[in-house]
Amino acid sequence: MNLSEEVKKKFVLQLFDKIDKNRTNSILPIELLDYINSKGNTYSIEDAKLFVKRYDLNQTGSLTRREFRHLCEDCEIIQRQEEEEEDDVAAP
C-alpha cells in the first residue's frame, strides 16, 4: 500500500494537531517529548530539544507544520504508519 501525497499530508496535519496540545500552531520540545515517550520510548528533554533544533529552520524554538512534516519524512514516521495500516488490513 502506498499512501497518496494527500493522505500523507492529512496524516501529518492530524498528528501535528494531536501533539500541539497548547494549540499554538507550533510544537514545543516538551510536547514532542510527551508524544515520543507515549509511544514507549524513553527520551530526555535534551533529546527533544535537539530534534526541534535540527528541524527548526526559522529558529523559533518550536516546529511549524512544515518543519514537522520534514521531521516525519526524515524519521520515516509516515512510512511506519503505512506499515501499521498494512498490518491492520492483513490481520484476521
CA distance linking residue 77 with residue 92, whole number of Å: 25
Q: Percent of the chain, pLDDT > 90? A: 59
Region 67-92 average pLDDT: 70
CA distance linking residue 32 with residue 88, whole number of Å: 26
> Which domains occur in the chain, in start order?
5-87 (1.10.238.10)
Q: What digits encode the pLDDT tens for the residues 3-17? A: 678 888 888 999 999
Check whether 59 has a pLDDT greater than 90.
Answer: yes
Q: How many angstroms separate the Cα of 21 from the Cα of each of 1, 2, 4, 5, 76?
A: 31, 30, 27, 25, 23
pLDDT reported for residue 8: 82
> Which of 35-39, 52-56, 58-62 bottoms out in mean pLDDT, i.e. has the lowest?
35-39
Check whether 1 has a pLDDT greater than 50.
Answer: no
